Structure 1
Amino acid sequence: MPECLIWKMLSKGLRQGSFLIESGHWIIEDYTSRWIKKAEDVEVIKFDKDVLLTLKTLEKEGFETYAAGNCVRDLVRGLPAYDWDLVTKATMGDLQKLFPKGEVIDGELPVMRIDFTYEVKGKDEDEPSHLEGAVLDIHHMEHGLREELENRGFTIDAMADNPERTFADPYGGREDIKKKLVRTIYDPDRMFKAEPIRMMEAVRLAAEMDYDLQKEVYEAIRVNWQLLMDYDVNAIRVQLERLLVSDHAGKGLNMLGGTGLMAVVLGEDVSNKMSKADMQAFHTVCKNIDKTKPVRARRLGLLYTALSKKRGYAAIERLNFDEKTKKQLLTAIDEMINIHFLIDDQTFKRYLHKHGLEMYNYLHNLSKAQRIVYDQPSNKIEARNYFMQVIQSNHEPVFTEDLVIDANDIMEAGITDSPERAEELLDLVVSEVHKNSKNNQRDILLKAAKKYSKNKFAAKTRYVKWIK
C-alpha cells in the first residue's frame, strides 16, 4: 500500500479495554454509565436562543425534546452551529398548532422547518451584510431517545442534549471527538452490509473533520466496498460531492483510494486500469486540492481531469450527474489543454464565442485551480484576464447578440428565406468582429453573410490569416 494511504490511526493505536465481544458484535462496556450524563459532568453547550426557546415551548407542553445529530457534534467540537435539529415526541399535528408559521417539508419523514435567520448589515458601506441566527428542523421521535440515537450510524453523531434534562452520549461520541476518530455505533462489518452507503459516509466525515477511521471501520470498508458497485449512484454522488468541498478533501480522496471505494466512484474498469500518469496526477490532486477554493463543480473537474480522456468520459458517465455538471466535466476533459493556447485577442474571442461565457468562466477557474494543484506558471491565466478586461472595458462585440444585425436582417436583405439558415450565417459573420471590433457595422456584416452563404470554403476558412 502506498505510504500516503497508511492512516495515522494505524500508528496511534487504539484504546484497550473499552469493548467486549459478544455474539460477534462490539458492545460498549460502560454503556449504562455513558447513556445519561448529568449536566455538571459535561461542558456546557451553548444553544441558539431561538432554538432553546422552541425546545422549552415543546417541553412546557409535555413533549420530550432534544437537540441531536450534527449540531450537537459541532458544538461539542467547539464550533458554532447554524443548522439545528430537534427530535421530539410531538407529532406533526402538534407542531403545526404550536408553530403555525413553520414550514412542513414532506419527504420520507415529514419535518417542520423554522427559519430564525436574520440579516445583519455591515458596519460601513465596504462591509457586506450577512445572515445570523439558525435554521431549525424539528423531527418527530417515534420511539425513545435511545432508539433515535441508535439510527445515527456513527458515535460522533449519536449525541443529544436538553439543558433542562440531560446530555446523552451512549456510544462515547465525545471521547471519539477528542481522539478525532470515526467509529460506528455497532460492528462496522454488520452495519456496512446492512447500509452500504455508510462506507462513503464514514470517509466523508473523516474528510470534513480531519479525523481518522477506526481500524475496524477501515478494514470493514476494505472487505465490503463491492457492495456499493450496484448501489444507487445518486447517493454515492452526493457523498462524493460533499467530500470534495470539505476542508480535507485530499485526505478523503486518499481514503477512497486506500479502502477500495475509488472503484465505486470511478467504476472498476477505470480504477483498475489507471495509467502511471493517471495515478501520478491523482496523487498530486490529493496532495494539493485543499489549497483550492471548495467549489463543487471545480473540484469535480480537478478529479476527473486527472484521468485520460477515455477513462475520464467513462467515470463521468457512471455517477449520473445533472446535464449542466456533466457538460462542464466532459468539456473540461476536452478543453483543459486547448485553453492554454489562446495566443491573441482573436483566438480568445473565437473561443469565448464557441463555448459561451458561462462555460468559459468554468474552464478558466478550473485552469486557475489546476495551476495551484500542479504548480504551473500563471502567464497563460494572466493573458486571458487581460483579453477579458479589454473586451469588457471597451464593450467589444463577441457574441451574436452583440452584433448590430440579427437573423431577421439577413432574411430581409434577401440572402436566405430560411430562419435556421439565417441563424447559421449570423453565427458565421460574428468572425468579422472577432478580427476587428470596428467591423460591427450593418453593411460589412451583411456583405460577409452574403459571401459565406455562397462560398463554403470562405466560411470554413473565415479565421485563416492568408499570407501573400
Structure 2
Amino acid sequence: MSHKNMEMHIPKDVKIILDCLKNNEYESYIVGGSVRDCIIGTNLPKDYDITTNALPEEIIRLFEKTVPTGIEHGTITVMINGAGYEVTTYRIDGKYLDSRRPECVTFVLNLKEDLARRDFTVNAMAFNEKNGLIDYFGGMEDLKNKTIRAVGEPNKRFQEDALRMLRAIRFAASLDFNIEEKTLEAIKSNSHLILNVSNERIRDEICKMMVCNNTTKALRTLKDTKLLEFILPELQVAVGFNQQNPHHDKDIFEHILAVVEKCPPNLNVRLAGLLHDIAKPNCFTIDKEGIGHFYGHDKKGVIISKQILRRLKFDNQSINKISTLVKEHMNVLSKPTDASVKRLINRVGVDLVPDLFTLQRADALGSRFSEIRLAEIRKMEESAMAILESKVPLSIKDLAINGEDIISEFSLKPGKEIGVMLKFLLDKVLEHPELNNKEKLLAIISYEYKK
C-alpha cells in the first residue's frame, strides 16, 4: 500500500505547490498519470496533477495566481512561473448522467476515497516526499505485470464514464500492456454505452490511439470489444471482407491495419491510412475471371471520410488534408512526366506532397508485390523534389498575370470566365514553364479569346 522509501523526480514548480500546501497544514500529493509515468520512467510526464484536502477557496487563498478552470468539480489551476498546474480537492463523484459525467461531486477528507473513484489501478496512485508512494489498489503490481485493471468493479467504472473503455484500450496500446480479463469482459458488455459519449471526447481518444506506440493493437482491440461498430461502423464493414484480388493477401481491415502500421506517427497520415480504403466494400465488383475490383473507391472514400471526420468534429483544415490524401492515394504514376507531377503537386498542395508519398509507400508495403509500386513512388518523389527545387510555376498564384490583368486588358467583367482562363493558362505553363511572362500569357488569351 505505502512505499515510504520510494523516490520520484518532482519538478521545482510542482514542489513549490506541494510545499505551500504542506506548510499550511494541508495534505497534498502528485496523483494519477504523472505518478504512473514517473514509475515507468520512459518519459517524464508532460502534466503533473495534484490532489489535496484543501478546499477550492483555500487553494485560491494560498496562491498568488489561480484560474477556476473546474471549480464545480473542485479543480483550480495554479499558475507558477507562467505554467498551469491542476490542483483538485479530494472528492467522490455523485450519480453519473448517461455514462458521461457526475451529477455532482462531494469533497472528502480521505485520500483513499478520492483514489477509489479513479479509472485504473495504474492511475490510482499518489506520491509525496513525506509519505512516499500511496498505492491502495495494487497499481505497482499491475505496472510490474503490464496490466490495465479497473479500480474496483469494472462494470461500475465504465457505466460511470463510458470513455474509460477507450482509455483502457489506448493505455494498453501505448504502454504495450494487456487489459485484465474482467476489465476486458466489462468493456465488451458495456460497449454500447460509448454512444452516450460526445463525439469530441471520442475523437480525442482516437487521435491519441492513432499516434501511440501500437496503433494496430488498439484498432484490433476496438474490433474485438465491439466498440468499433459503434464509433467507426464504416470500418467495421471492412472486417473479414475478402478482396479476391491477386495484389492483396489480406482482407480489407487487415490491409488497412498493415498500412497504418507502415505510416510514421503523423496524425493526418495515419488517419488517411485508416480511411484510404474505407469505401472498398461499397465499390466491390467481380469480373468474369472472378477477380475483385474496387473502381472509384478513392473518390467515394473522400465522401465517406469527410462524413466520418465531420461526425467526429475534426476541424476543417484537418478534414481537407486527410480527404485530399485519401482522394490521391491511388495516383501512383507509372511514367511520371514533369507536367503530370506538377498537376499532382497543384492538386495536393506543396506542403502535403511528402505526406502523400508517405501514405502511398505505406499502402504499397501493406500489399503484395510492392517492389514495382515502390520504385514508381520513388521516381515520382525524385521528380517532385526536382520540380520544387527549380521554383517553376505550379499554381494559379504563380502565374505572371492575375485576373485583374485579364479584366483590364480585354475590358471584361469579373466572373467565372476569368477563372476558366487562368486555369487554361496554368495548364499551358505546367507543360511549358517558359511561357510564364505577362506578354506571352496575354497573347495566348488574346488568340484563344478571338477564336
Question: Which TM bucket (shorter chain)?
Answer: 0.7 to 0.9
Contact in 2 for aligned 1:298/1:362 (Cα 8 Å): yes
Query: Within the alignment, does 1:87 sit opposite 2:63 as a pair?
Result: no
What corresponds to 1:434 in structure 2?
430
Match for residue 397 of structure 1 among 390, 393, 405 = 393
Contact in 1 for aligned 2:60/2:76 (Cα 8 Å): no
Q: 1:46 to 1:368 in 2, by over 3 A?
A: same
Match for residue 86 of structure 2 among 119, 134, 137 = 137
Per-residue CA distance 1:48-76 (angstroms, 9 max, x = gap): 23322321122112222110010000112
SS for the counterpart of 2:319 is helix
Match for residue 199 of structure 2 among 224, 227, 233 = 233
What corresponds to 2:176 in structure 1?
210
Query: Within the alignment, does 1:295 sit opposite 2:266 as a pair?
Result: yes
How big is the shift at 1:227? 2.4
Using the TM superposition, name which of 63-72 and 76-85 deviates more: 76-85
How big is the shift at 1:113? 5.0
Instruction: Tell me which amino acid in the other structure corresponds to 2:50.
Output: L
Using the TM superposition, name which of 240-249 and 370-379 deviates more: 370-379
How big is the shift at 1:339? 4.1
What corresponds to 1:445 in structure 2?
441
Match for residue 283 of structure 1 among 219, 244, 254 = 254
Q: Return the alpha-carbon distance in structure 2 between the equivalents of residues 66 and 238 of structure 1.
A: 27
Query: Within the alignment, does 1:189 sit opposite 2:155 as a pair?
Result: yes
SS for the counterpart of 1:338 is coil
Instruction: Tell me which amino acid in the other structure corresponds to 1:112.
Output: T
Per-residue CA distance 1:348-399 (angstroms, 9 max, x = gap): 1112223322443442332244345447333233223322322233221111
Contact in 1 for aligned 2:120/2:149 (Cα 8 Å): yes
Contact in 1 for aligned 2:65/2:78 (Cα 8 Å): no
Q: 1:222 to 1:443 in 2, by over 3 A?
A: same
SS for the counterpart of 1:66 is strand
| Correspondences of 1:24-63 after superposition (within 5 Å) | 34=1, 37-40=2-5, 43-63=6-26
Gaps of 5+ in 1: 1-33, 118-133, 456-468
| Correspondences of 1:319-398 after superposition (within 5 Å) | 319-320=311-312, 321-340=314-333, 343-374=336-367, 376-377=370-371, 378-398=374-394
Q: CA RMSD in A?
A: 2.9
What corresponds to 1:317 in structure 2?
307
Q: Return the alpha-carbon distance in structure 2 between the equivalents of residues 137 and 341 of structure 1.
A: 55
Q: Return the alpha-carbon distance in structure 2 between the equivalents of residues 382 and 273 of structure 1.
A: 29
Using the TM superposition, name which of 200-209 and 255-264 deviates more: 255-264
Q: 1:340 to 1:136 in 2, by over 3 A?
A: farther
Using the TM superposition, name which of 224-233 and 240-249 deviates more: 224-233
How big is the shift at 1:191? 2.5
Per-residue CA distance 1:132-190 (angstroms, 9 max, x = gap): xx863333333232232123211110000111134221111111111111110122223
SS for the counterpart of 2:48 is strand
Instruction: Tell me which amino acid in the other structure corresponds to 2:423.
Output: D
Q: 1:95 to 1:369 in 2, by over 3 A?
A: farther
Q: 1:323 to 1:288 in 2, by over 3 A?
A: closer
What corresponds to 1:412 in structure 2?
408
| Correspondences of 1:163-174 after superposition (within 5 Å) | 163-174=129-140
Instruction: Tell me which amino acid in the other structure corresponds to 1:407.
Output: G
Query: Within the alignment, does 1:76 sit opposite 2:39 as a pair?
Result: yes
Gaps of 5+ in 2: 91-106, 283-300
How big is the shift at 1:108? 6.5
Q: 1:451 to 1:234 in 2, by over 3 A?
A: farther
Q: Return the alpha-carbon distance in structure 2 between the equivalents of residues 445 and 190 of structure 1.
A: 71
Instruction: Tell me which amino acid in the other structure corresponds to 2:12.
Output: K
Q: 1:390 to 1:90 in 2, by over 3 A?
A: same
Query: Within the alignment, does 1:422 sit opposite 2:371 as a pair?
Result: no
Q: Return the alpha-carbon distance in structure 2 between the equivalents of residues 287 and 296 of structure 1.
A: 16
TM-score normalised according to structure 2 size: 0.80
Q: 1:288 to 1:418 in 2, by over 3 A?
A: closer
What corresponds to 1:122 in structure 2?
none
Instruction: Tell me which amino acid in the other structure corresponds to 1:406.
Output: N
Number of equivalenced pairs: 401
Q: Return the alpha-carbon distance in structure 2 between the equivalents of residues 46 and 350 of structure 1.
A: 54
Contact in 1 for aligned 2:342/2:394 (Cα 8 Å): yes
